[in-house]
Structure 1
């Protein structure tokens, strides 16, 4: 590794850290996760379907999550193309109330969806490597898996919200065209 490459390495880590911090702030941080009805439902579901009745439970997330992750990344690419250029400009950028734009909120939801899936996948890999069929770590890993699936619903709700915005925008554009 050259001296220049050694100097660039801290910048790369700082850049990644800055992006993660920005996403986390827009998403709402730990407060948003702790208050999430999707997390609450995951905890309840994991209590109702005990791991002791599910032998090798970690094989399910290892089979399911790679497909869901691929679908999520494809969906993320599609949502970035939602609407036309005028609509994307309308929902992006600085808002007078100081809140993040709907565009950035939707992006943070998708990134959260992907981050939770990756964490659940890594936890399932760890559980399989350690053959964790029970105990607190296995339970928390299972909760993470269920949460990763329920964040799909949360992301779908966010896409629907954004679609409603686009629908309102399109109707407004249509009315303006008729009035001219």
Structure 2
């Protein structure tokens, strides 16, 4: 069971592009800049309430959009999407790459939501030993930065997933145009015009 989960995550991570794609992502860079600008917000308690109120709706919308994407196009178009590149047979197909973008978007939403729920659950007074008590404000600050940063990355990933869907739409448009041109050429050839 765990091996299957690990293998699924490995396939997703490869389709997404791995660490290289993550580090080079303009959506991650934008989220980091937004996190810096949002310091007054996440450096104070209760930042998690925004995350908890926004992400469940976004997550539901994303899952619905992913389901719609899975049903997009006719069978011939779907065969085009899953065609492997003869020059790179081990690389993921366009279909898997787009699915990987959606999965990444969903994983980031789940990570941000879990971070917010844990932050809210742990925001209680406990008489900690002195070394921990001194470090606690810094740990809270770090937790707020990471948690809210994940939230902002989940939001900027919305744009990334949207652009992947747009890419699919342009591919679909090209396939349909080529199909139409082929049909017109066949008709001209058949009728002699």
TM-score under structure 2 length normalisation: 0.83
Q: Compared with structure 1, are the counterparts of its residues 138 and 55 closer, same or farther at alpha carbon in structure 2 (3 Å cutoff)? A: closer
Residue in structure 2 matched with residue 141 of structure 1 by the alignment:
147
Residue in structure 2 matched with residue 36 of structure 1 by the alignment:
25
Greater Rg over alpha carbons, structure: 2
| Correspondence list, 1:1-180, <5 A | 12-50=1-39, 51=41, 55-98=45-88, 99-131=91-123, 134-180=140-186
For residue 173 of structure 1, report the CA deviation from its aligned partner: 0.6
With a CA cutoff of 8 Å and minimum separation of 6, indicate the structure with the bigger relative contact order. Answer: 2
Q: Compared with structure 1, are the counterparts of its residues 53 and 141 closer, same or farther at alpha carbon in structure 2 (3 Å cutoff)? A: closer
For residue 97 of structure 1, report the CA deviation from its aligned partner: 2.1
For 1:171 and 1:45, locate their aligned partners in 2 and report how far apart those are by CA, in whole Å. Answer: 40
For residue 13 of structure 1, report the CA deviation from its aligned partner: 1.0
Q: Which runs of 4+ in 1 moved over 3 A?
A: 52-55
CA deviation vs aligned residue, 1:26-64 (integer Å, no higher than 9, x gap): 111122111111111111111112136765110011011
For 1:111 and 1:49, locate their aligned partners in 2 and report how far apart those are by CA, in whole Å. Answer: 26
- Alpha-carbon RMSD across the aligned residues, in angstroms, is 1.6
Q: Compared with structure 1, are the counterparts of its residues 54 and 172 closer, same or farther at alpha carbon in structure 2 (3 Å cutoff)? A: farther
For 1:52 and 1:171, locate their aligned partners in 2 and report how far apart those are by CA, in whole Å. Answer: 49
For 2:58 and 2:2, locate their aligned partners in 1 and report how far apart those are by CA, in whole Å. Answer: 28
Residue in structure 2 matched with residue 8 of structure 1 by the alignment:
none
For 2:184 and 2:42, locate their aligned partners in 1 and report how far apart those are by CA, in whole Å. Answer: 64
Number of residue-to-residue matches in the alignment:
169
For 1:171 and 1:104, locate their aligned partners in 2 and report how far apart those are by CA, in whole Å. Answer: 23
For the residue of structure 1 that corresponds to 2:47, the secondary structure is: coil
Instruction: Could you tell me which runs of 5 or more consecutive residues in structure 1 were left unpaired when the two chains were aligned.
Output: 1-11
CA deviation vs aligned residue, 1:76-113 (integer Å, no higher than 9, x gap): 01111121110000110422121321101001000001
Instruction: Could you tell me which runs of 5 or more consecutive residues in structure 2 were left unpaired when the two chains were aligned.
Output: 125-136, 187-193
